[in-house]
Chain A
Amino acid sequence: MTHRLTLEQVRLSLQHRALVELDATIGPGEVLTIMGPSGSGKSSLLAWVAGFLNPVFTVSGRVRLDGCDITRLPAEQRRIGLLFQDAMLFPHLSVEGNLRFGMPRHTPDKAARIQTALEEIGLPGFGDRDPATLSGGQQARVALMRLLLSDPCAVLLDEPFSKLDAHLRHEMRQLVFGHLHRAKLPSLLVTHDREDAADAAGRVIELTN
């Protein structure tokens, strides 16, 4: 199953001032990077695609996922996954609980998949742990697995590496982009870090103020 995310003649503006104008299609396994300084509207663009843009912004254009218009769909029905700069593991759930939270209801053999996933990120046996006791890098890896296990059709990345230590950053990029590529997911990355863009190895669009 391969997916394709299309942003069709998107124009995002705040108080009649255009911030972002974009028309692009992201193919399976491809990462489109959007770069720009803060305030350039890149995070708002991401929020709009995900389905919870603050109503002070006005947007024209469409989002299509595999050809279907999802512009008006509520966020939870879009099947678009998110990674933030914080891992944002739910503090009241265990590591396993976090992974399980995102999995579609009728996923067969959840426990086994969780176990495999934890092994894949080098955290076997961490299922029962309190997320707060994990290191920053470990949390980021769990967050990635939570995203992948939720079986999304596309992924949005909001400066996902900016809070990690420098030596972890490159390693995490490899891990994340590797997984996204293998899962053949179209991804939209916003960042102001050139190295992110370089490691993503896809098209780069620069926004200016």
Chain B
Amino acid sequence: MRSIFTLATLMVATLLAGPSMAAPAPDDWKTVLSEARGQTVYWNAWGGDVRTNDYIDWVNRQVQAKYGVDVVHVKVDDTGVAVSRVLAEQTAGNRRDGSVDLIWLNGENFAAMREHDLLFGPFARHLPNFSLTYPEHNPEVVTDFTLPTDGYESPWGKAQITFYYDSARIASPPRSIEAILDWARHHPGRFTYPRIPDFTGSTFLKQALLSLTANPEPLYAPVEESDFESVTAPLWDYLEALHPHLWRDGRQFPANGPAMRRLMADGELDLAFTFNPSEPAAAVDDFELPPMTRSYVLDGGTLGNVHFVAIPANSPHKAGAMVVANFLLSPRAQAHKQDITVWGDRTVLDVTRLDDPARKAFAATSDNPALPPRGALQTTLPEPHPSWMTALQEEWRKRYIRE
């Protein structure tokens, strides 16, 4: 009883206190650097990929040597876990001493945290290396699913839907959304997409909708502003036609992108896709996918987005977190990350505008045949407004989950 009472008091106190800001001014970088020294930054990031984990470990060693900042990778299986954590702390009135200092996120999670004032900022524009992204030429580094980031998150990598297949089995894979339907008819049970509301699966819905709709414009504004039913009708028609030819007749779907990759490895599927263009090549290296695996992007481009790091409002190590975010934007860190033998995550820097020595670091290319062909990732379709994702997910669940 007593603890509940305490809790209630704290909740009330929380309401009255309002937001507190015990953070260094991001524009005074010298102070930020000196304050950061000796801090330990708890970085909550998806831990499902060994290569990503190794890269974060490398980052730790770099910033430790350079800035005296320790990075601890808190591995989560779902970014939602970290969001939950920040939320639980806020619920209990923990406004200064949170357990999350840096969080890897984008899209829906960012929108949600912003909406509930769970983030610190604006800080991104004050990071010295941020200018190397040349935001005035590359709006995607300051827009997250059409929402302006307002400096509440800092970009650090790029993802784009990439398809892959075993070229020992398939000679010519389908190169458009319409062609996939046709292909599935001839190869029943050999294609699927991750179960909604999985991120990659939801992106497939958006990709399909973008290709099928005559006018994509409404998708870049909140869903409330258009007639959801008529805009999305072509998508549902398409899925009605596609599902009977999918893996397990479209009655069951893999949980997520990695689960789909495992089905490829087991020979259950012939065609799959991922959000990380270098994932198939890495999986071949790890003996998971067949050696003849090849990757490509649909004609006319596929959806791509930038992923970011953000700092929770109650982080006690904001200076350290900013130093890490800034290091992640350095040409050295970005080039290392883009190296296929390291991770293969594409840079957010505007390489064409970098000075010569920096540009050279990115020049080293890989001839790994499982990577998408050079230039394939040039045409990136921007992400629709996040409200569409939620609406599509709801509708999909209504239609396909059995009662």
Touch between A and B in complex, CB under 8 Å?
no
Interface residues of A (CB under 8 A from B): none
Interface residues of B (CB under 8 A from A): none
